[in-house]
């Protein structure tokens, strides 16, 4: 009877899979996640070293998935099938999010809705993150963007890039979610200034900044509940001649600051 061949890396791969089955994908380090993904297109070779090489080359796990297809194939050990598999993953994730949100028909009508939505769909990472959530005039989510902080202290956002992000015919309102993993759920002076600049851009583009919510593991702070969004509207109302679209949007997005 012919003995079944079992390659020398099978045990390690099985341990990774068992770890995921028991504790979930979050129990793996980033290079282990990539290592496991690579095994599905590279079944007979050790993918540990390649995972490390790719993460080093592109400076991070997410950058590997966002790398250019042809550039990926220049790395030894990455063939056409592997490059295609990796570059498809971000689109798969986006499709999953889109159809999940459409199915649930998520609407953010008040700060409480926002916090519940965030706790159910996102995590507080070690770095600060800014999540930009775009709504239509029924407060239904139509777009989401994620911006990683440059360090644990603050987030640098290019306002030109932000303006490009929120360009959409159906987008009428914006909610900002901002994490403070190592601090209080309370805005710094820089947070307030950045919010004013974003409010400025939204106003010019005819989009309502409905709220900016800062969260840590235990608490949250709503700019809307604390009256800061209202103050910005009063201040900027005299500086800009809001077009008809902006006036309509402010009326259409029914967002209740009293439900905290």
Question: 136 and 142 in contact (C-beta within 8 Å)?
Answer: yes
Task: Please say if the pLDDT value at position 224 is more than 90.
Answer: yes
Question: How large is the angle between the packed helices 48-58 and 30-38, nearest 10 degrees?
Answer: 120
Q: What is the pLDDT of residues 53-92, one digit of tens each?
A: 999 999 999 999 999 999 999 999 999 999 999 999 998 9
Indicate the average pLDDT of the chain. Answer: 83
Task: Please say if the pLDDT value at position 144 is more than 60.
Answer: yes
Residues 6+ apart with CB under 8 A from 35: 16, 47, 48, 50, 51
Task: Please say if the pLDDT value at position 247 is more than 50.
Answer: no
Over pLDDT 90: what percentage of the chain?
40
Residue-level pLDDT at 200 = 87
Cα three-residue angle 100-166-102, rounded to 5 degrees:
15
**DSSP element (H, E) containing 250:** helix 244-252
Q: What is the mean pLDDT of residues 46-59?
A: 93
Task: Please say if the pLDDT value at position 151 is more than 70.
Answer: no
Residue-level pLDDT at 38 = 92
CA dihedral 38, 13, 26, 127 (to 10 degrees): -50
Q: What is the pLDDT of residues 3-25, one digit of tens each?
A: 444 555 567 788 888 888 888 88
Residue-level pLDDT at 222 = 96
Residue-level pLDDT at 237 = 65
Cβ neighbourhood burial of 194 (10 Å; 0-12, 13-18, 19+): buried
Would you state the structure tokens that stand for residue 135, as one six-digit string? Answer: 């709504």
Residue-level pLDDT at 212 = 96
Residue-level pLDDT at 249 = 46
Task: Please say if the pLDDT value at position 126 is more than 90.
Answer: no
The more confident residue out of 162 and 88 is: 88
Q: Which residue has the tokens 């911006």?
A: 147
Longest dimension (CA), the chain: 88
């Amino acid at each position: 009877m012919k003995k079944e061949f079992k390659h020398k890396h099978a045990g390690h791969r099985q341990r990774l899979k068992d770890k995921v089955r028991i504790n979930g994908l979050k129990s793996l380090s980033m290079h282990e996640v990539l290592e496991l993904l690579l095994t599905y297109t590279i079944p007979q070779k050790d993918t540990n070293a390649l995972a490390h090489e790719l993460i080093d080359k592109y400076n991070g796990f997410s950058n590997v998935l966002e790398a250019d297809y042809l550039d990926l194939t220049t790395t030894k050990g990455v063939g056409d099938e592997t490059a295609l598999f990796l570059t498809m993953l971000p689109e798969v994730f986006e499709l999953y999010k889109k159809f999940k949100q459409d199915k649930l028909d998520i609407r953010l009508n008040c700060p409480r809705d926002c916090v519940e939505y965030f706790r159910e769909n996102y995590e507080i990472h070690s770095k600060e993150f800014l999540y930009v959530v775009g709504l239509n005039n029924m407060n239904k989510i139509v777009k989401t963007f994620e911006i990683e902080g440059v360090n644990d202290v603050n987030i640098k956002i290019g306002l030109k890039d932000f303006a490009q992000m929120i360009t959409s015919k159906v987008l009428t309102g914006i909610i900002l979610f901002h994490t403070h993993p190592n601090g209080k759920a309370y805005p710094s002076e820089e947070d307030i200034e950045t919010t004013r600049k974003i409010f400025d851009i939204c106003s010019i583009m005819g989009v309502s900044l409905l709220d900016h919510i800062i969260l840590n593991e235990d608490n949250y702070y709503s700019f809307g509940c604390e009256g800061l969004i209202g103050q910005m509207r009063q201040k900027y109302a005299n500086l800009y001649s809001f077009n008809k679209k902006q006036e309509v949007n402010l009326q259409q997005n029914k967002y209740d600051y009293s439900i905290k």
